[in-house]
């Protein structure tokens, strides 16, 4: 009933809405949704021509908001949050869903890393050299598989050149700092070529120190809970020195490089790239096995070892597009092979090693227009050979294989009404030599379909709606996990391990409704959504304990997600040399089990206001985002206090617009800010007051 009331109320809320979050490097930021092309769909439509809610972060806006992880870079976009696990490891959360339900892609192909396995695993893709970041809110399973049940993030770079270069030689250099995390970053990109051939090379490096925080590392709620527990037990414990002002073991070193070649002719292009990504970072709350050492008088003392993650990846990409003619107008193909390894270091010792060899291949056949129909037929194959080795390998070695076929069609019913529909069938098989003959294997199909419409009325109004019914396969972790997961202080148990057998597929029914409009002085966009999920799989915290760790179990329940995202942009002043506008934003999501219990790690209500002034020679802005208290929590989960993020920016362009420099202050109120969507939010807050300085030189 709540969900139905929400959808009915959506149009009334339009006064609190605004345009899609897009590149604001020009004064026409609020018109960008009509011109930015989204490549995550087969027909490459603009934001306003897609039935599903989509946003793009690009250009100078992306440069200014560049963070040490993809999760933090886009965490302030509508409907998006993050799993914040320190500066280096932060994955996107879309509408309260994360992990395996949010697919992170590079140029439309899977990251093929282990980041979805656990929140402490960093995404092996970086945005420092990205051209733009595309975000699809809501299920994108019909185009990218059951791993995109909650949403999709596509990082688009220009390593492989789809079009000829503007000049025979060019490139860019960027530098950046961040005082709260001690970040020093730099990147260089070089491009050279002719009409038919081009080459690309790039390199980046980023170092960060332990993060500065304004208060205690532990939240007030956790400290109170620990004191209450000690009081109830009637035991006196030695007071421990609590971390204050800084979080140890949150530093990182990251670097990467790439080389690419592209050949083009009148009918298309083909490009090949090889890229590397290496990072070594600390896990802030991890506690290794305690070791005993003899003291001066023979007394034994306990010492806790820190845990660090040392990750390496080599990735090979082949991307091409050819005009064929006939029924198949264009053939698009993409193949990536990934060699990924990361080692969890416990002090000087190797604890657990994760190795993943993966391939993701995708073929899209875009047919020529058939009357008013345009569309594409696609095939996708994915194979991931995953190995975990070590005493704390909580998941078995597995091989996951997927084969999919999908269809996307668009019908122009009239000049003012467009229909879009898609369907997908996906076969998945999980095998493992480690599992005994009596342990059930997973082998099944998942299906889905969606239909959406975009109705334009008048010259300035549009209404889009989409309905998607999709299935999601359970993954190997949800089925077979068994053991301690020290980085997140959990002992995890999968469904098969618990004796509950193979989990059922999730069945999701998702409805989105978006209203966009504009006038001479304002623009708005408001989206409401309802997502009912049968047999929703989630990691439930219990009051059990194993190896001195809290036990978490993978269970299923029927669940409902519902919420809204809205923005309003108002022009306040327009002169020959400047332009001032205000922007108001809000988003929220509610997530409950069928019995009314709240699901864990769901972000609270957010709302914000910003002023942005664009002058001939500079841009200036100030923004405040208010995060409400989250007291709608799951059993055995602590609430999170409210906080306000106050940020300000000043930027300018020099040298005929080739040099862009900016100064940005974040968390200017030095608030104790904690993301409820982070599993370590009671141990590690967001960084305190910070000054960020950066530049980018294009040549």
Q: How confident is the model at residue 71 (pLDDT cuts 50, 70, 90)?
A: very high
Q: How confident is the model at residue 51 (pLDDT cuts 50, 70, 90)?
A: confident
pLDDT digits (tens, 9 = 90+) for 308-325: 999 999 999 999 999 998
CA distances to 175, 194, 264 from 268, in Å: 35, 15, 6
Does the pLDDT value for residue 239 go beyond 70?
Answer: no
Phi, psi torsion values for 64, nearest 5 degrees: -70, -35
The structure's pTM equals 0.90
Read off the pLDDT of each residue in 229-235 and give the average, rounded to a whole number. Answer: 72
Checking phi first, is residue 234 left (phi over 0); if not, alpha (psi -120 to 50) or beta?
Answer: left
Distance CA 334, CA 353 (A): 29
Does the pLDDT value for residue 643 go beyond 50?
Answer: yes
Q: Where are the domains of the chain?
A: 2-698
Work out the number of other CB atoms within 10 angstroms of the CB of residue 9.
11
pLDDT digits (tens, 9 = 90+) for 530-574: 999 999 999 888 889 998 888 999 999 999 999 999 999 999 999
Residues 6+ away with beta carbon under 8 Å from 410: 43, 373, 374, 375, 418, 419, 420, 421
Read off the pLDDT of each residue in 630-641 and give the average, rounded to a whole number. Answer: 93
Q: How confident is the model at residue 486 (pLDDT cuts 50, 70, 90)?
A: confident
Does the pLDDT value for residue 489 go beyond 70?
Answer: yes
Distance CA 551, CA 559 (A): 22
Per-residue pLDDT, 417: 95
CA distances to 377, 428, 670, 688 from 665, in Å: 47, 47, 11, 11
Read off the pLDDT of each residue in 437-451 and give the average, rounded to a whole number. Answer: 91
Does the pLDDT value for residue 293 go beyond 50?
Answer: no
Per the prediction, the chain carries an average pLDDT of: 89
Q: How confident is the model at residue 45 (pLDDT cuts 50, 70, 90)?
A: confident
Tell me the two tokens of residue 541: 């915290």
Q: Report the range of poorest mean pLDDT among 286-295, 350-359, 473-482, 575-584.
A: 286-295
Per-residue pLDDT, 34: 53
pLDDT digits (tens, 9 = 90+) for 577-617: 999 999 999 999 999 999 999 999 999 999 999 999 999 98
Q: How confident is the model at residue 490 (pLDDT cuts 50, 70, 90)?
A: confident
Q: Is 348 exposed, middle or buried (0-12, 13-18, 19+ CB in 10 A)?
A: exposed
Does the pLDDT value for residue 204 go beyond 90?
Answer: yes
Distance CA 547, CA 334 (A): 45
Read off the pLDDT of each residue in 219-241 and give the average, rounded to a whole number. Answer: 77
Q: How confident is the model at residue 405 (pLDDT cuts 50, 70, 90)?
A: very high
Tell me the two tokens of residue 617: 């020679």
- CB 478, CB 494: distance < 8 Å: yes
Residues 6+ away with beta carbon under 8 Å from 119: 83, 85, 89, 91, 98, 99, 488, 678, 679, 680
Percentage of the chain lying above the pLDDT 90 cut: 72
Distance CA 427, CA 407 (A): 15
Phi, psi torsion values for 115, nearest 5 degrees: -65, -30
- CB 193, CB 223: distance < 8 Å: no
pLDDT digits (tens, 9 = 90+) for 650-666: 999 998 889 999 999 99
State the greatest distance between any 2 C-alpha atoms of the chain, in Å, as a whole number.
Answer: 89
Residue range 2-698 forms a domain whose CATH class is mainly beta
Per-residue pLDDT, 225: 87
Strands in 39-148 per DSSP E: 54-58, 80-82, 92-94, 102-106, 109-110, 132-137
Does the pLDDT value for residue 346 go beyond 80?
Answer: yes
Per-residue pLDDT, 350: 82
Per-residue pLDDT, 238: 58
Work out the number of other CB atoms within 10 angstroms of the CB of residue 292.
10
Residues 6+ away with beta carbon under 8 Å from 699: 170, 171, 172, 173, 658
pLDDT digits (tens, 9 = 90+) for 122-154: 999 999 999 999 999 988 778 888 878 889 999
Q: Report the range of poorest mean pLDDT among 111-125, 227-241, 274-288, 609-623.
A: 227-241
Does the pLDDT value for residue 175 go beyond 50?
Answer: yes
Tell me the two tokens of residue 168: 């025979």
Q: Is 422 exposed, middle or buried (0-12, 13-18, 19+ CB in 10 A)?
A: buried
Instruction: Fill in the DSSP letter of residue 336.
Output: E
Collapse the DSSP code of 362 into the 3-class scheme (helix H, G, I; strand E, B; otherwise coil) and give the result: strand
Read off the pLDDT of each residue in 319-347 and give the average, rounded to a whole number. Answer: 94
Dihedral angle at the C-alpha atoms of 227, 230, 234, 239, nearest 10 degrees?
-80
Distance CA 344, CA 680 (A): 18
């Amino acid at each position: 009933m709540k969900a139905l009331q929400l959808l009915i109320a959506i149009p009334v809320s339009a006064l609190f809405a605004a345009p899609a979050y897009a590149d604001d490097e020009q004064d026409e930021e609020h018109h960008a949704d009509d011109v930015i092309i989204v490549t995550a769909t087969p027909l490459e439509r603009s934001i306003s021509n897609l039935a599903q809610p989509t946003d793009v972060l690009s250009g100078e806006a992306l440069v200014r908001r560049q963070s040490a992880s993809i999760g933090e870079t886009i965490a302030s976009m509508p409907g998006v949050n993050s799993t914040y696990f320190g500066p280096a490891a932060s994955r996107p959360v879309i509408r309260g869903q994360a992990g395996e339900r949010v697919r992170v892609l590079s140029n439309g192909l899977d990251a093929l890393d282990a980041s979805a396995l656990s929140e402490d695993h960093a995404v092996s893709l970086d945005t420092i050299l990205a051209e733009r970041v595309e975000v699809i809110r809501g299920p994108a399973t019909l185009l990218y598989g059951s791993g995109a049940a909650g949403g999709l993030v596509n990082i688009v770079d220009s390593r492989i050149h789809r079009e000829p270069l503007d000049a025979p030689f060019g490139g860019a250099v960027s530098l950046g700092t961040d005082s709260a995390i001690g970040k020093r970053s730099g990147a260089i990109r070089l491009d050279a070529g002719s009409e038919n051939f081009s080459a690309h090379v790039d390199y980046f490096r980023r170092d960060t120190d332990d993060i500065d925080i304004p208060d205690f590392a532990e939240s007030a709620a956790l400290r109170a809970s620990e004191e209450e527990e000690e009081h109830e037990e009637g035991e006196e414990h030695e007071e421990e020195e609590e971390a204050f002002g800084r979080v140890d073991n949150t530093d990182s070193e990251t670097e990467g490089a790439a080389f690419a070649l592209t050949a083009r002719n009148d009918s298309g292009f083909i490009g090949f790239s090889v890229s590397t990504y290496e990072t070594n970072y600390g896990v802030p709350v991890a506690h290794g096995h305690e070791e005993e050492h003899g003291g001066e008088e023979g007394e034994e003392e306990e010492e806790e070892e820190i845990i660090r993650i040392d990750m390496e990846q080599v990735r090979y990409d082949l991307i091409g597009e050819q005009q064929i003619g006939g029924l198949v107008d264009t053939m698009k193909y993409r193949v990536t092979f990934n060699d990924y390894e990361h080692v969890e270091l416990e002090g000087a010792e190797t604890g657990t090693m994760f190795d993943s060899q993966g391939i993701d291949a995708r073929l899209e056949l875009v047919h020529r227009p058939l009357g008013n129909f345009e569309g594409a037929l696609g095939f996708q194959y994915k194979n991931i050979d995953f190995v975990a080795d070590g005493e704390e390998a909580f998941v078995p070695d597995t091989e996951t294989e997927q084969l999919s076929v999908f269809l996307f069609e668009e019908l122009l019913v009239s000049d003012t009404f467009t229909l879009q529909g898609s369907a997908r069938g996906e076969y998945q098989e999980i095998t493992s030599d480690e599992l005994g003959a009596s342990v059930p294997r997973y082998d099944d199909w998942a299906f889905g379909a969606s239909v959406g419409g975009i109705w334009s009325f008048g010259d300035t109004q549009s209404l889009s709606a989409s309905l998607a019914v999709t299935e999601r396969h359970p993954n190997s972790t949800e089925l077979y996990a068994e053991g301690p997961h020290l980085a997140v202080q959990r002992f995890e148990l999968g469904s098969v391990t618990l004796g509950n057998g193979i989990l059922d597929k999730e069945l999701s029914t998702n409805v989105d409704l978006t209203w966009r409009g504009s006038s001479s002085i304002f623009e708005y966009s408001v989206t409401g959504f309802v997502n009912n999920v049968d047999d929703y799989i989630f990691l439930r915290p219990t009051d059990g304990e194993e190896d001195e760790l809290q036990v978490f179990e993978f269970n299923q329940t029927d669940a409902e997600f519902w919420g809204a995202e809205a923005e309003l942009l108002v022009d306040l002043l327009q002169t020959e040399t400047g332009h001032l506008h205000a922007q108001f934003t809000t988003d929220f999501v509610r997530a409950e089990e069928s019995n009314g219990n709240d699901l864990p790690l769901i972000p609270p209500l957010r709302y914000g206001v910003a002023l942005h002034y664009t002058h001939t020679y500079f841009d200036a802005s100030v923004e405040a985002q208010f995060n409400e208290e989250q007291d709608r929590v799951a059993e055995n989960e602590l609430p999170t206090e409210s906080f306000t993020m106050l940020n300000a920016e000043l930027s300018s362009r020099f040298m005929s617009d080739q040099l862009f420099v900016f100064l940005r202050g974040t968390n200017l109120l030095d608030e104790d800010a904690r993301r409820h969507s982070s599993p370590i939010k009671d141990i590690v807050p967001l960084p305190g007051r910070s000054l960020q300085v950066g530049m980018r030189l294009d040549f």
